[in-house]
Amino acid sequence: MEDCLQLKKSNCKNCYKCIRNCPVKAIRFFDAQANIIGDECILCGRCFVVCPQNAKEIRDDLPVAKALIASGVPVYASVAPSFAASFDGVTITAMEQALKKLGFAGAEETARGATVVKKQYDVLVDRDESDVIISSCCPTVNLLIQKHYPAALPFLAPIISPMQAHCMDIKQRVPDAKTVFIGPCISKINEAAQYPGSVDCVLTFEELTNWLAEENIEFETVGDVAEHGKARLFPTAGGILRTMAADNPNYTYFSVDGIENCIDAIQDVLNHGLSKCFIEMSACAGSCVGGPAMASKRRSPIKDFATITRGAGKEDFSVYFPPEAALKKEMPSLAKRVIHIGGAAIEEILLKLGKSTPSDELNCGSCGYNSCREKAEAVLLGKADLTMCLPYLKEKAESFSDNIIRNTPNAILVLNESLEVQQINGAACSLMNIRDPKSVLNQQVVCILDPTPFLDVYQSSASIRDKRVYLAEYGRYVDQTVVYDKSYHIIICFMRDVTEEARARMSREEISRKTMEIADKVINKQMRAVQEIASLLGETTAETKVVLTKLKESLSNE
C-alpha cells in the first residue's frame, strides 16, 4: 500500500500542505519529515498533486511493463477512457499504434469492461435488495469506506471494477496474455495488487508519456475507427449514471465527485438512513478526468467533459458478459482499531501549546489539521508534534526575542524605511533619557539621534559595525552598529554604552600626556646641563692645549 506513493525525504520542507489536503489525515510528521501512514491512506493522490517540493512520487512500474514485453508473451494494454482528455486529439486507434511500437500486442479501451460493470449495477438496482447502493468503480472510494467508514460496507456494490472486468475479458480471449492497465489513477496500482490475477501491471498516463518520449515515439494523426461505446462516459462526473438504464422508479439516482463530497455523502447515508438510492461516487473532482496522474498537470474540467462526451456513442460496446459470479468482489473491512483520546489528555496538550482557554484555540489550520483539538489528538497519537503549531511557534519566538530585547544591556532601535522609530528597548530609553518609549514611536529618528548613519546605510546597504560615536546631546560614547534588513524593510541600530570605558581611556591618555610633558621638561633640563658641562670642558681643554703646545715649542728650540 504505502509503496504506491513514496516520499523523497530530502525534499520535504515542513510546509504541512500534504496534511492540510489529506482528507483522512493519513500523514505522520516525524523527524522533520512527512510520512504516509499506509494503513490509513486511501491513495487519492492529493498529497502528490499539491506538494510544492515534489517530495511525493508514484512508484515507477515501467520496468515491470518492459519486463513483461521482453518476456515474449503477448501483452495487451487496457487504456482508461480518460486518455482522450489526457492526450489532446489522440484517438484509441492512434494510441494502439503508439503502444504497438513500444512492444504491446494490442490496446483496447477499459470502457469495454465498464459496459459489463454498469450492466451489473442495473441488475443490483432491479433486485431492489438494498436501500442504498454505492458504485465501486473508484478504488479510492472503496478504500475510504473499507478503512474509515466500515459501517457503510453493506452499501458498497460488490462488483469488480471496469479495469478488472476488461483485463479478465482479454485473458479469456487470449489465454496466455498479460495485461497492463494505463490510466490517471494511483489507487489502481493498489487494486491490481490486492486482487491479483486479472491485471499484471498498472501504469499512469505520466509514465506512458515518459516512456514514449524515451523511445522518441509520437502519436500519429489517425481518425477514430474503433467502436464508439456509451461507456466512454465513465471518467466524467455522472458518467456511470449516463450509461446505466437507471429506470427503476423506486430508486433515486445521483452522483457525487470530490473526496470531501464523498465523505459527506457517506456520513449522510450512515446518519440519516437514506432509502432507495443509487450513488455514483468518484474521489476525484470531475471524476477520473481529474485524476492525480494525468499526463498533464492542467485542469480543464469543462473542456475535458466535452471531449469525453463527444467521443462517446449512443449504444453500448459489443462485449461478452461473463457469469455473475465472476463479477463479484469481496471488499472486507480494513479499519484500524479506534483509539479514543480522553478530554483531559487533549487539554494537557493544548496547555503545552499555550491554549488555556477556548479563545486561544485559533483553529487556523496552519498545522494541517482542522482544529487545535484535532491537532492535539494527532500529537497524542504520534502523528504530529507541538512544533507544527504556527501561532505557538510565533508566540514563542516573539516571547524569546522580546525577552532578549528587553533584558539586553545594549540599546536597540528599529526604524522603518522612512526612518521612523518602530521599536525601542529600555536600554535605549535609559541611554537617551527617554521616560516614555511611546513618545518616540512612529516619530522621525532625527528627534533623538543624528539620522546621517541610518540614511547612509539605507541608501548604500553597507552596514556600519562597532563605530565609536559620541552622542553630544546625551554626553555618551557608544559603539554603534547599523544594519539594513531588506527582507523585512527595517533598519536596526545596536548601541553599546562605552562612556565609562571611553572616559577611563581619556583619563589614561591625559595622565600619559602629562607624564610625557614632565619627561620632556626633565630631558630638556638634563640636556642643558650636559651642554653647559660640555661647554666648560671644551674651554679648559683648549687652554691646556695652548700651554702644552707652547711648552713643546720651547723644548724644541733648546
CATH assignment at residue 432: 3.30.450.20
User: Across residues 356-369, what is the average pLDDT?
Assistant: 85
In a domain, 250, yes or no: yes
Q: Which of 407, 434, 453 is the last residue of a domain?
A: 407
Q: Which of 46, 502, 465, 504 is nearest to 293 (CA)?
A: 46
In DSSP terms, which residues pair with 107 in a beta bridge?
77
Give, as one character, the DSSP assignment of residue 531. H
298: pLDDT strictly greater than 70: no
Cα 206 from Cα 100, distance rounded (Å): 18
Q: Return the pLDDT at 556.
A: 59
Cα 64 from Cα 107, distance rounded (Å): 17
User: Across residues 272-301, what is the average pLDDT?
Assistant: 87
Cα 384 from Cα 20, distance rounded (Å): 13
User: Across residues 148-157, what is the average pLDDT?
Assistant: 96
Q: Which of 285, 19, 326 is nearest to 140 (CA)?
A: 285
Rg (CA), the chain: 43
234 and 252 together in one domain:
yes
Residue 514 — very low, low, confident or very high, per pLDDT cuts 50/70/90? confident
For strand 75-79 and strand 178-183, is the pairing parallel, antiparallel, or unpaired? parallel
User: Across residues 418-431, what is the average pLDDT?
Assistant: 93
Lowest mean pLDDT across 70-74, 259-263, 524-528? 524-528
Q: Return the pLDDT at 558.
A: 52
Residue 260 — very low, low, confident or very high, per pLDDT cuts 50/70/90? very high
Q: Return the pLDDT at 264.
A: 96
Lowest mean pLDDT across 160-164, 270-274, 511-515, 528-532? 528-532
Q: Which of 57, 84, 105 is the last residue of a domain?
A: 57
Give, as one character, the DSSP assignment of residue 20. H
Q: Return the pLDDT at 546.
A: 63
Q: What percent of the chain has pLDDT over 90?
A: 64
Phi-psi region of 281 (alpha: psi -120 to 50; beta: other; left: phi over 0): beta
82 and 158 together in one domain:
yes
In a domain, 275, yes or no: yes
Q: Return the pLDDT at 100.
A: 97
CB count, 10 Å around CB of 214? 10
Residue 357 — very low, low, confident or very high, per pLDDT cuts 50/70/90? confident
End-to-end CA distance of the chain: 140
- Count up the domains in the chain and report the number: 5
User: Across residues 162-186, what is the average pLDDT?
Assistant: 96
67 and 151 together in one domain:
yes
User: Between residues 363 and 118, which one has the greater pLDDT?
Assistant: 118
Cα 389 from Cα 400, distance rounded (Å): 16
547: pLDDT strictly greater than 60: no
350 and 422 together in one domain:
no
pTM over 0.85: no
Q: Which of 407, 423, 452 is the last residue of a domain?
A: 407
Domain coverage including residue 13? 1-57
pLDDT in tens, 444-502: 999 999 999 999 999 999 999 999 999 999 999 999 999 999 988 999 999 999 998 88
In a domain, 200, yes or no: yes
Residue 140 — very low, low, confident or very high, per pLDDT cuts 50/70/90? very high
185: pLDDT strictly greater than 70: yes
Mean pLDDT computed over every residue of the chain: 89
CB 103 within 8 A of CB 73: no
In a domain, 328, yes or no: no
User: Between residues 490 and 539, which one has the greater pLDDT?
Assistant: 490
Q: Return the pLDDT at 257.
A: 97
Q: Which of 404, 384, 352 is nearest to 19 (CA)?
A: 384
Residue type for 255, please?
A: S
Q: Return the pLDDT at 3.
A: 75
Lowest mean pLDDT across 6-10, 105-109, 140-144, 222-226? 6-10
CB 17 within 8 A of CB 51: yes
User: Across residues 154-180, what is the average pLDDT?
Assistant: 96
Q: What percent of the chain has pLDDT over 70?
A: 94
Residue 25 — very low, low, confident or very high, per pLDDT cuts 50/70/90? very high
168: pLDDT strictly greater than 80: yes
- How far is C-alpha 5 from the chain's CA centre? 16
Spell out the residues 6+ positions from residue 351 whose beta carbon is closer than 8 angstroms to its own. Answer: none
- Residue 104 belongs to a domain with what CATH number? 3.40.50.1780
CB count, 10 Å around CB of 538? 9
Q: Return the pLDDT at 544.
A: 64
Q: Return the pLDDT at 431.
A: 93
User: Between residues 415 and 387, which one has the greater pLDDT?
Assistant: 415
130 and 249 together in one domain:
yes
pLDDT in tens, 367-395: 888 899 988 888 888 888 888 887 777 77
User: Across residues 141-165, what is the average pLDDT?
Assistant: 97
In a domain, 320, yes or no: no
50 and 67 together in one domain:
no
Q: Return the pLDDT at 7.
A: 73
- Residue 13 belongs to a domain with what CATH number? 3.30.70.20
In degrees rounded to 5, what are phi and psi of residue 357?
-130, 160
388 and 289 together in one domain:
no
Q: Which contacts (CB < 8 Å, 24+ apart) does range 194-197 have?
A: 195/160, 195/164, 195/329
